[in-house]
Every structure is written in structure tokens, then in C-alpha cells.
Structure 1
Amino acid sequence: MTLHGKYDPDNIFAKMLRGDIPCVKVFEDDVALAFMDIFPQAEGHTLVIPKDVEARNLLEMPKKKLGAYMERVQKVAKAIDKALKPDGIRVMQFNGAPSGQTVYHLHFHIIPVGEGQSMRSHASGEPADTEALKALADRIAAYI
């Protein structure tokens, strides 16, 4: 997929927002949904997506909705920091396939990083255990 194009209302994140497919929720309000990445690059890898927009990437996000959405990204990052106490936190966002984007609904990755730990590849490998993800989601959600 290119950087510019038409929003697909049947992308996996749009389906999650509609409740058509499940996700392991960390946080949800009228602005954003945060959930555990099923293919985590590190323990606690969480995604935050905006609600009520058809933005494929950051370039398409309506300016008037950007501030509230970014506040939610920060809120989840702070909860991850308190819950998991990582040495660092990587906040990433991809725009277009050449940058690494695989789902075309705006989303930020929040990835706790431990000193000396290597991260798994983006969107690859085996899916994580759902029960383990639920336990991590509960730990993070306790600080939101």
C-alpha cells in the first residue's frame, strides 16, 4: 500500500472498533482504543488507535482530533511505564508500506524496552498467548 489512498473500512482495526473481531483491550474511551499487539515486539507492546476517523496514517488525521488522540497515546505510555517499569519506551508510528506500515488505520505502537533486550520483528512470528496478553493488559490498565 502506498502512502496515499482510499481508507478501507474493512481493515482489521476498523473491525476491532466495530466489535466484529476481538482484541485484548487496555483502554477505551470516545477518542481512542488501546489494545495489546497480538504479535508483540516486546512484552507489553500496545497499540493505540483513534476512533471516529478514517485516517490511514498520521498525514490523514484531522488536525482538530489530533491533540485529544495524542493525549491518549501519552496516557497509555505513562501507564506502561508505571506498570512494567521498563528502561525505555519506544513510541512508533509508520506511514505507508515502505516505512513498515501493515495496517492502514492510524496507530501508534508503544513498546517497553529493557536495557540490552532485543526486540522481535514487526508484525511477524507466532501470535502471543491470549491469557498472557490479558494479564499484561490488566497490569497496564490498573494505571490508567
Structure 2
Amino acid sequence: MGIFDGLLDFIRSYAVKAQKDDVLFAAIHRILTEELGWQSKSFTMKGDEHEASYTNPQSPIHELEIEAKRIGNQFILRLEAETLHREKMEDFLEGILGIEFDLDEEIKVRFPLDYYVTDTLDLKNENELEEKLINLIRELEKRVS
């Protein structure tokens, strides 16, 4: 393998990683909208960073905002929940984290891209991803209501 072949392999690998985060973000969007009934207010996928916001009139969480970005092989999802019951949310997060919490800070969840998306851009371990997201959202809703 020559230098040119190595460069092509690197470019292909980088392109696949860039597409893996798109697949994962689209899967998260589908779970939120189809499985949990959230309505999309905005949904933007751009390069290594993605953003979306959702509402759900049936949820005690007024609005859910998500920002995600790929760093290496990690997909970092930042959630910000706006609720009418901020104090309960702060107490919940303080209890989990064991520190004083300000809702302006972010909640981050890390997903290893290779665990959820194959090199052929197929979603895998979807049931586990769905279960984790559903549990996270339901626990947040339960604690703020």
C-alpha cells in the first residue's frame, strides 16, 4: 500500500464517521417523535454538529432542546429541558449528581458511534438505544411532575 492508498483509506474512514453521527441523530429523532410522541419544532443536521428542539403537550417538560456533536468516535448529546417546575428538576439533578446544580448547565450523554452504527451505516443495538432514551425522558418527566 502506497502513501496515496493510505490517504484514501483515511479519507474514507473519516467520511464514514461523519455519516455515522447523522444516522445516530436521525435514530434519536425517530425515537423521540415516534415512540415518545414529541413534536419537532426544529431539526438541523450540519457537519459534525446537530440541533433539534421538541415539545410535547402531554409532558411536564415544556420544551426539550438537543445539541449533539461528534468528537472522535464519541457522539455527545446535550439535553436541556425547560420545565414549569424548575425547582423539582434542580432537586432531581442535584440528587443524581450530588452537587449544587444550575439548570443553565448542560446534561451530557455520550454514545460510542461504533456501538450503535456499523461501518455500512446500519443502525445496531437500536432496542438498547431506544430503551436508554425512553428511560431518560420518562425519569425526567416523573421527577419534574
Q: TM-score, normalised by structure 1?
A: 0.31
- Return the structure number with greater relative CO, CA threshold 8 A, min gap 6: 1
Instruction: Looking at secondary structure, tell me which structure has more helix per residue.
Output: 2
Q: TM-score, normalised by structure 2?
A: 0.31
Select the structure of larger CA radius of gyration: 2
Instruction: Looking at secondary structure, tell me which structure has more strand per residue.
Output: 2
